[in-house]
Amino acid sequence: MELTTFWFIVIGVLWTGYFVLEGFDFGVGMLFPLLGGKRHAQDAADADKRRRLLLNTIGPVWDGNEVWVLTAGGATFAAFPNWYATMFSGFYLPLLLILVALILRNLGFEYRHKRPEPEWKARWDLAIFWGSLVPPLLWGVALTNVVRGVPIDANMEYTGNLFTLLNPVGLLGGLVFVALFLTHGAIFVALKTDGPIRREARAVAGRVGVVAAVLAVVLLTLLGLDHGKTVSWATTAVAVVALLAGLAANAREREGWAFLGTAITIAMAVASYFLMLFPNVMPSTTDAAFNLTVTNASSTDYTLKVMTVVALVFTPIVILYQAWTYWIFRKRLSTKHIPADVSLEHAAEPDTALRS
Amino acid sequence: MDATDLARWQFAIVTLYHFLFVPITIGLSFVVAVFHTQWVRTHNPDWMRLAKFFGKLFTINFALGLVTGIVQEFQFGMNWSAYSRFVGDIFGAPLAIEALLAFFLESVFLGLWIFGWGRIPEKLHASTMWIVHVGTLLSAYFILSANSFMQHPVGFRFNPDSGRAELTDFFAVLTNKVQLVTFPHVAFSAYLVGGGVLMGVALHLMRRESLRASALLRGVDDLDSTAGATRGGTGSSATAEMTMTAQARQATAARADVPLYRKAARIGAVLTLVAGVGVAVSGDLQGKIMTEVQPMKMAAAEALYETSPQGAGAPFSVLTVGSLDGQHANALIEIPGLLSFLGTGTWDGEVMGINDLKAQYAAKYGATGDPTLVDAATDYVPNIPTTYWTFRLMIGTGIAAAGIAALVLWTTRRGRAPTSKWVLYAAVAAPLLPVFGNSFGWIFTEVGRQPWAVFGLMTTASGVSPSVSVGEVVTSMTVFTLLYGALAVVEIKLFLAYVRKGAEPFDPPTEPSDVDEDAPLAFAY
Query: CB-based contact (8 Å) between B78 and chain A?
Result: yes
Q: How far B100 CA lies from chain A's nearest CA (Å)?
A: 6
Q: What is the pLDDT of residue B349?
A: 86
pLDDT band at A356 (very low <50, low <70, confident <90, very high): very low
Least confident of A4-13, A334-343, B437-446: A334-343
Q: What is the 3-state secondary structure (H, E, C) of chain A?
A: CCHHHHHHHHHHHHHHHHHHHHHHHHHHHHCHHHHCCCCCCCCHHHHHHHHHHHHHHHCCCHHHHHHHHHHHHHHHHHHCHHHHHHHHHHCHHHHHHHHHHHHHHHHHHHHHHHCCCHHHHHHHHHHHHHHHHHHHHHHHHHHHHHHHCECECCCCCECCCHHHHCCHHHHHHHHHHHHHHHHHHHHHHHHHECCHHHHHHHHHHHHHHHHHHHHHHHHHHHHHHHHCCHHHHHHHHHHHHHHHHHHHHHHCCCHHHHHHHHHHHHHHHHHHHHHHHCCEEECECCCHHHCEECCCCCCCHHHHHHHHHHHHHHHHHHHHHHHHHHHHCCCCECHHHCCCCCCCCCCCCCCHHHHC
Q: Which of A85, A90, A315 sits opposite B84 (nearest CB)?
A: A85
Cβ contact (<8 Å) for A311 and B100?
A: yes
Q: Which of B120, B476, B524 sits opposite A338 (nearest CB)?
A: B524
* A contacts of B108 (beta carbons < 8 Å): 61, 63-64, 67, 321-322, 325
Q: What is the pLDDT of residue B280?
A: 94
Q: What is the pLDDT of residue A203?
A: 95
Q: How far B225 CA lies from chain A's nearest CA (Å)?
A: 21
Mutate to test the interface with A, among B109, B454, B525 (most CBs of A within 10 A): B525
pLDDT per residue over B482-518, tens digit each? 999 999 999 999 999 999 998 888 887 776 665 556 6
- Is residue A354's pLDDT more than 90? no
Query: CB-based contact (8 Å) between A162 and chain B?
Result: no
- Is residue A350's pLDDT more than 50? no
Please report the ipTM that was assigned to this predicted complex: 0.89
> What is the domain range of residue A157?
3-355
Q: How far A77 CA lies from chain B's nearest CA (Å)?
A: 5
**Regions of chain B short of the pLDDT cut 70:** 220, 223-244, 326-329, 367-377, 511-518
Domain residue spans in chain B? 3-285+375-504
Total domains in the fold of chain A = 1
* A contacts of B497 (beta carbons < 8 Å): 115, 344, 347
pLDDT per residue over A75-116, tens digit each? 999 999 999 999 999 999 999 999 999 999 999 999 998 898
pTM of the model: 0.91
- Interface size A-B, in CB pairs within 8 Å, comes to 264
Q: What is the pLDDT of residue A37?
A: 85
Query: CB-based contact (8 Å) between B513 and chain A?
Result: no
- Is residue A351's pLDDT more than 60? no
Mutate to test the interface with A, among B100, B112, B483 (most CBs of A within 10 A): B100
Query: CB-based contact (8 Å) between B253 and chain A?
Result: no
Q: Which of A90, A155, A338 sits opposite B520 (nearest CB)?
A: A338
Q: What is the pLDDT of residue A353?
A: 39
Query: CB-based contact (8 Å) between B519 and chain A?
Result: yes
Q: What is the pLDDT of residue B521?
A: 77
Cβ within 8 Å of A, B 160-189: 164, 166-168, 170
Cβ contact (<8 Å) for A74 and B95?
A: yes
Q: What is the pLDDT of residue B308?
A: 86
